[in-house]
Amino acid sequence: MRASSLANRLFLSATAWLVVILAITGVVLSSVYKSATERAFDRRLNLYLRTLIAEVATPDEPPDRQFQSLGEPLFELPLSGWYWQITRTDTEKPEVRSSRSLWDKKLPKLEEHGELTAAGIRLAYVDGPEGQNLRMVERPVDLGADGKYLVSVAGDDTEIFDETRSFDYYLGGTFTALGIVLLLTTVFQVRFGLAPLKRISESIADIRSGRAERLEGEFPVEIAPLARETNALIDANREIVERARTHVGNLAHAIKTPLSVIVNEAGAHLADPFAAKVMEQADVMRDQVAHHLERARIAARVSVVSTVTEVAPAIEALRRTMEKIHRDRGIVVEAKADPSAKFRGERQDLEEMVGNLVDNACKWAASRVFIAVLVEAPHKPGAGPRLRIVVDDDGRGLSEAERAQVSRRGQRLDESKPGSGLGLSIVTDLAALYGGSLSLGGAPTGGLRADLVLPGV
């Protein structure tokens, strides 16, 4: 996973959790504050309720001065939203006394509705006069011979909702500011905390492209072991490949020497048909051994960290060499290479692949061979650019069946032409080892087109 992708995922995850946590905390705090505000409002209503019950139970004051001890001026203002009501319930026609603020209105009976406390007080939200929303408490009082009463007190619940709304506004503003600060802190931690991982990712990309050989620089203690193990893995891989190269070289010498002896001995008795056959098969064996040893050598090399080769100079050198080799036939080799083209691999491998294609084109061309080098954009996200090398000739060309035949190892269409028939097969194998491909088709000049695709930089 790329460091930037990891950073984005961590940031999105942290943001989502932060929003969820702040939202849940806000809802809980708002609910707790509303409950606390309701309890404070209910205590106020219960205070008035107890005072009214005491006035009913001990009517010491004259009727015109009774219930003046509540000390709340809102009970005197008409339809103020604060009301009390005392109803005698043990008479045929209930007697009702109420605060001046009720005028000719009445408070509803809660009866079975609302919450019933342990003290026998029932409370609930009700609709009051003039469409007001009220918080109301109610308690029945039995004074024995003095009668039974239902005492009610109601207050405008706007105070509760105003307080709760004001708290929610302050809470929302505070949590928004806190969320912004936490998000900025998270961005800072993710960006700078994962910076070493991003640096390691870029360093590994440099190693793969041949711009560096090891992870260099200082890393935090949490990342340093990863850098050390990566460098150790690179060193171990390089040692394994070096041993493989040595074994390949030893094998080449061990096999080539006996083959040379066989060829020399057979060459001394060419008149003998058996010797001629041995000579023929020894040449085939030598070509096959050379082919597979070369493939093993390239496979070992491309498994190591790649190097970068400038393509234009290599193509120009090949053009001059091929013109000299085929000067006796008057073959003109033209080349047009993108100056920015770079091959992710070693120069000798590029020269071997392109050299085989150009040499084959010169053998079959009538007078002209053209080489074009193009740099193409990545064919999928995350991939590097592609290098396309096109070799055209103006020869007779090949049919589809002939193109399929020459792609097989050791197959030749014309025995009069020099070569072993391994050239195109070697190019195909080497291109595949680098993750590329070779395809054959018709050239605009009428001859054969060889289209080689390789990894670029």
Q: Do 307-455 and 3-163 fall under one CATH topology?
A: no
Instruction: List, in sequence order, every beta strand (DSSP E) within 306-353.
Output: 308-310, 332-337, 342-344
For the ranges 20-24, 132-136, 153-157, 407-411, the lowest mean pLDDT is seen at 407-411
pLDDT given at position 63: 53
Sequence ranges of the domains in the chain: 3-163, 212-305, 307-455
At 33-59, the pLDDT tens digits run 999 999 999 999 999 998 888 888 776
Task: Report the topology of domain 307-455.
Answer: Heat Shock Protein 90 (3.30.565)
For residue 96, report the phi and psi dihedrals to the nearest 5 degrees. -120, 130
Q: What is the pLDDT of residues 172-189, one digit of tens each?
A: 999 999 989 888 887 787
pTM of the model: 0.47
Task: Write down how long the chain is.
Answer: 457
Whether pLDDT at 72 is above 60:
yes
Could you tell me which of 393, 413, 410, 415 has the C-alpha nearest to residue 402? Answer: 413
DSSP 109: P
Q: Output the average pLDDT for the chain.
A: 81
Q: What is the pLDDT of residues 374-413, one digit of tens each?
A: 998 877 766 678 899 999 999 888 777 777 766 554 444 4
Q: Which helix (H) or strand (E) holds 391?
A: strand 386-393
Q: Following DSSP, what letter does each residue of 29-46 receive, concatenated?
A: HHHHHHHHHHHHHHHHHH
pLDDT digits (tens, 9 = 90+) for 316-351: 999 999 988 888 888 999 999 999 898 888 888 888
DSSP-assigned letters across all residues of 128-192: -GGG-EEEEEEEEEE-GGG-EEEEEEEEETHHHHHHHHHHHHHHHHHHHHHHHHHHHHHHHHHHH
What is the DSSP pairing of strand 368-376 with strand 332-337? parallel
184 vs 7, more confident: 184
Give one DSSP letter per residue of 205-225, joined into a string: HHHHHTS-SS--S---TTTHH
Give me the CATH code for the 3-163 domain, please.
3.30.450
Per-residue pLDDT reduced to its tens digit, 267-302: 777 778 887 888 878 777 777 777 666 666 666 555
Element housing 260 (H / E): helix 224-267
Nearest of 26, 16, 23, 25 to residue 170 by alpha carbon:
26
Check: CB of residue 449 under 8 Å from CB of residue 390: yes
CA distances to 61, 215, 240, 432, 434 from 208, rounded to whole Å, are 101, 11, 17, 18, 13
> What 8-state DSSP symbol labels residue 107?
P
For residues 48 and 44, give the distance between their C-alpha atoms in angstroms, rounded to a whole number: 7
Residue 364, amino acid: W
